[in-house]
């Protein structure tokens, strides 16, 4: 069956979504949600309906369900603000409200030689950094150790999925390459990702060696590589440790690679995220020099980002940080100026209003509240950032914790000592 709506075509026989002639990269679970909503468009679909149909009755957090609904909206050019195609009905559920035309998909039987020579279509890249984790290769020489390498791959995919700024390909799509040695550029084309992580695991006696490398799926160039040597006293603890380490390092390297990629694009192709990455790069340089011109340049780039998409929460979060740093560092007239601190607070709030699941926005709110002297609110904001992403870290979380036990500490003096 094929469903046609708003210049989109959802083909459930081929399990693909197209916008005009272009394939849209969609995670399988998101496609399940979209398909279920379209098939049941004549009624309101409850949260429980989706849990049974898509998650087979498993317990799923509210934020996980919300993220899948938002991803389904994004896949078909909708958003939570507009809700032109997928409506949220308070305390009831969701409904697909666009006009839909159904068509029977003809069954085509291709000759054997045509099937062997066919190649998968190239998927378009998502708007945010995208990555696929290929199954880690078992180098132990023992087939019984496959469970360990597969488990490591699963853990890394799960950890990366916690980062809202990344588009991570689901396990089922990545594992189709298990036991193969594909061209990484082919993987990038077929899965619609910019980055591919591959690696290997070797176990010998009481030692384990894990190697991983991040590759640009568009060029085949290497971005990062690392090797981990550990004792194997507790296999499950090692899986958890290495998966979290790789996930945290990988996210940082992907963001830096994305920043370099943004600088190489022609001006006609700059998008909201590119301006944000440029601003982040300039702001990082400012933290080394505390040159006011760099601070102003970062803000100007963020304003350009928001002029394209005024609903981009990450830009508001970073904009908040530029005013916090101006408040605590003698860079210009914003130094210890309550107006600058209030701007930081308002921009952080705006970021949360636009994306309540963005850890960065909650952390920036925590920083602003710290210097406003609202320590309980600051601690709560930082804790919410960690709840949303257990891998999220910001050393400034220590500041409200310390200050809450030192009532007579000068906030202004502490600001000068801890500014970054």
Nearest CA to 278 out of 250, 297, 291, 306 is that of 297
- DSSP letters spanning 353-406: HH-TT-HHHHHHHHHHHHHTT-HHHHHHHHHHHHHH-TT---GGGHHHHHHTT-
Angle at 39 between CA 36 and CA 44, to 5 degrees: 75
How much is the pLDDT for 262?
Answer: 58
Fold of 130-264: Rossmann fold (3.40.50)
What pLDDT does 114 receive? 38
Q: What integer pLDDT is reported at residue 52 of this predicted model?
A: 82
Q: φ and ψ at 346, to 5 degrees?
A: -65, -40
Q: Alpha-carbon distance 189 to 73, whole Å?
A: 23
Cβ atoms of 163 and 247 within 8 Å: the answer is: yes
What's the pLDDT score for residue 146? Answer: 79
Please check whether residue 323 is in contact with residue 340, taking contact to mean a CB–CB distance below 8 angstroms.
Answer: yes
Give pLDDT, residue 238.
Answer: 66
- With beta carbons less than 8 A apart as the criterion, state whether 37 and 53 touch: no
- The pLDDT value given to residue 236: 60
pLDDT at position 348, please?
A: 95
Contacts of 193 (CB under 8 A, 6+ apart): 25, 125, 130, 131, 132, 167, 169, 187, 217
- Asked whether 347 and 317 are in contact (CB, 8 A), the reply is yes
pLDDT in 10s for each residue of the chain, 420 residues: 888 998 898 887 667 788 887 778 777 778 889 999 999 999 999 988 888 888 766 666 677 788 889 889 988 999 888 899 999 998 889 999 999 998 876 544 444 443 333 445 566 677 667 889 999 998 877 777 777 788 788 778 877 777 766 788 887 788 888 888 888 888 988 888 888 999 888 877 778 888 888 888 888 888 888 888 888 776 566 666 676 777 777 667 666 666 666 554 443 335 687 788 788 888 988 888 889 999 999 999 999 989 988 988 989 999 999 999 999 999 899 999 999 999 999 999 999 998 888 888 999 999 999 999 998 889 888 888 887 776 666 778 888 888 887 444 333 333 333 333
To the question of domain 267-418 being in CATH 1.25.40.10, the answer is: yes
Structural tokens at position 50: 């989706």
Own/partner pairs, 237-240, CB within 8 angstroms, 24+ separation:
238/208, 239/148, 239/151, 239/152, 239/155, 240/155
The residue ranges of every structural domain in the chain are: 2-103, 130-264, 267-418
Strand pairing class (86-89; 101-103): unpaired
Three-state SS at 320: helix
CATH node for 2-103: 1.10.10.10
Q: Measured between alpha carbons, how far is residue 144 from residues 203, 212, 232 in Å? A: 11, 21, 16
């Amino acid at each position: 069956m094929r469903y046609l709506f708003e210049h989109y075509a959802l083909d459930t026989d081929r399990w693909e979504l197209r916008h005009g002639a272009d394939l849209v990269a969609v995670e399988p679970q998101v496609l399940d949600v979209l398909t279920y909503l379209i098939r049941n468009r004549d009624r309101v679909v409850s949260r429980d309906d989706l849990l049974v149909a898509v998650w087979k009755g498993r317990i799923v957090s509210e934020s996980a369900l919300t993220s899948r609904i938002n991803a389904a909206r994004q896949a078909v050019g909708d958003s939570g603000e507009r809700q032109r195609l997928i409506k949220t009905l308070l305390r009831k559920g969701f409904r697909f409200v666009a006009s839909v035309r159904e068509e029977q998909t003809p069954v085509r039987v291709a000759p054997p030689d045509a099937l062997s020579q066919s190649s998968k279509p190239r998927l378009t890249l998502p708007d945010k950094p995208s990555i696929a984790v290929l199954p880690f290769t078992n180098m132990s020489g023992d087939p019984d150790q496959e469970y360990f390498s597969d488990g490591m791959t699963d853990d890394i995919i799960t950890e990366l999925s916690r980062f809202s700024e990344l588009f991570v390909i689901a396990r089922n799509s990545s594992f189709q390459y298990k036991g193969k040695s594909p061209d990484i550029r082919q993987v990038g084309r077929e899965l619609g990702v910019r980055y591919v992580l591959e690696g290997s695991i070797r176990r010998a006696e009481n030692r384990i060696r894990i190697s991983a490398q991040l590759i640009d799926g568009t060029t085949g160039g290497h971005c990062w590589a690392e090797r981990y040597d550990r004792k194997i006293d507790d296999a499950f603890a090692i899986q958890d440790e290495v998966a979290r380490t790789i996930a945290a390092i990988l996210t940082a390297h992907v963001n830096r690679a994305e920043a370099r990629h943004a600088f190489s694009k022609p001006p006609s192709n700059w998008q909201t995220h590119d301006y944000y990455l440029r601003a982040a790069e300039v702001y990082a340089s400012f933290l080394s020099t505390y040159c006011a011109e760099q601070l102003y340049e970062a803000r100007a780039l963020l304003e350009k980002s928001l002029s394209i998409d005024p609903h981009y929460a990450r830009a508001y979060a970073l904009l908040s940080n530029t005013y916090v740093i101006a408040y605590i560092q003698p860079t210009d007239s914003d130094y210890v100026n309550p107006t600058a601190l209030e701007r930081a607070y308002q921009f952080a709030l705006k970021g949360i209003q636009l994306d309540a699941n963005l850890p960065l926005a909650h952390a920036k709110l925590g920083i602003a509240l710290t210097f406003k002297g609202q320590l309980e609110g600051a601690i709560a904001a930082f804790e919410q950032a960690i709840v949303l992403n257990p891998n999220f870290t910001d050393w400034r979380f220590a500041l409200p914790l310390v200050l809450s036990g030192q009532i007579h500490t000068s906030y202004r003096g502490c600001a000068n000592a801890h500014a970054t």
